[in-house]
Amino acid sequence: MAIRATNLSSFLPVQARTKTRTKTRTFATKQAGSVPLTSSTAKYLIQSGTVRPIPPKEAGEVIQTEGYRLLDIRPIWEWERAHVTGSVHVPLFVDDADNGPITLLKKWVHFGYIGLWTGQLFTKVNEQFVPQVAEVVPNRDEKLLVACGEGLRSLMAVQMLHESGYKNLAWLAGGFSRSVNRNFPQVEGNTKLQYATVGGVSSIFLQLLLILRVLDSES
C-alpha cells in the first residue's frame, strides 16, 4: 500500500506535486523542530549561555555576592502575598479591565475553570513592561535576575528585555515555587514565597495540608 501511494504522485500534475512536496517539507520542519534556534528565542538564550539560569537555592548568594538585582515580574496580587525584600517589582501581566462582551465571556470562562480554584485574575500582557523596567533600571548593563512564580512568565520577560538591549540577564529556574525557606535572606508578606501563586479555593486546601503536616510531625 505504501508503494502504491508513493507511485500515485507520479500521476499528479507538476504543480500539484510541487505543492505536495512543499507541504510535506513544511510539516516535517514543524514536527522536527521544537523551538527555532534564533537569538530571539528564550529557550536558545538559556541554552547558549546568553542568559544564565540560576536555581532558587543559589539565588540569595548570587544577589549578595555578584551584584544581581532581583526583578520580580509576577502580578501584583502574587507579589503582595509574598516577595523578597529589596526586589524590583514590574508585572509582566496585569488585570484586564476591559468589560467588552467578548472579554466578559472570557472572564466568566476563566473564573469557572481557573479563577475560582486558583484565585488568579483574568490578565493581559503589560504593554508598558519594558518602559517600566527602564524607569527603575535605566542601565541596560546592570545585572538582573528575572523571576516569577513557576519560571514560565519570566522566560517571556527575559526575551523581551534581551531584545530591548539588556545584556546581563539571569533567569530564576523553576521560579519561586521551587524555593524553600532561607533561599532568600528576607521575605515580606502573609505567606511563604513558594506558596504565593496559590490562591482561591486551592489556598484553603493548602492551609489544611500544612496544618495536617504540622499535626502529623507532632504526633
Residue 34 lies in a domain: no
- The active-site residue, picked from 45, 148, 193, 196, is 148
| Half-sphere exposure of residue 22: CA atoms within 13 angstroms, side-chain side | 6
pLDDT in tens, 159-198: 999 999 999 999 999 999 999 988 998 999 988 898 887 6
**Total number of domains constituting the chain:** 1
Beta bridge partners of 71: 88, 146
Residue 118 vs residue 153, higher pLDDT: 153
In the chain, what percentage of residues exceed pLDDT 70?
59
Is 148 an active-site residue? Answer: yes
Residue 33 included in any domain: no
Question: What pLDDT is recorded for position 97?
Answer: 60
The answer to whether residue 79 sits within a structural domain is: yes
In a domain, 50, yes or no: yes
β pairing state of 187-189 and 82-84? antiparallel
What's the chain's average pLDDT? 74
Does residue 59 belong to any structural domain of this protein? yes
At 121 the pLDDT is 56
C-alpha cell read off for 202: 486551592
**In the predicted structure, residue 14 carries a pLDDT above the cut 80:** no
Separation between Cα atoms, residue 210 and residue 26, nearest integer Å: 51
H or E element at residue 218 = helix 200-218
Structural domain contains residue 28: no
Confidence band for 69, pLDDT divided at 50, 70 and 90: very high
- The mean per-residue pLDDT over the stretch 84-101 comes to 80
CATH of the domain at 57: 3.40.250.10
For residue 73, is it within any domain?
Answer: yes
Structural domain for 189, as ranges: 42-218
Identify whether 68 is part of a domain: yes
**Number of helices and strands in the chain (H, E):** 10, 9
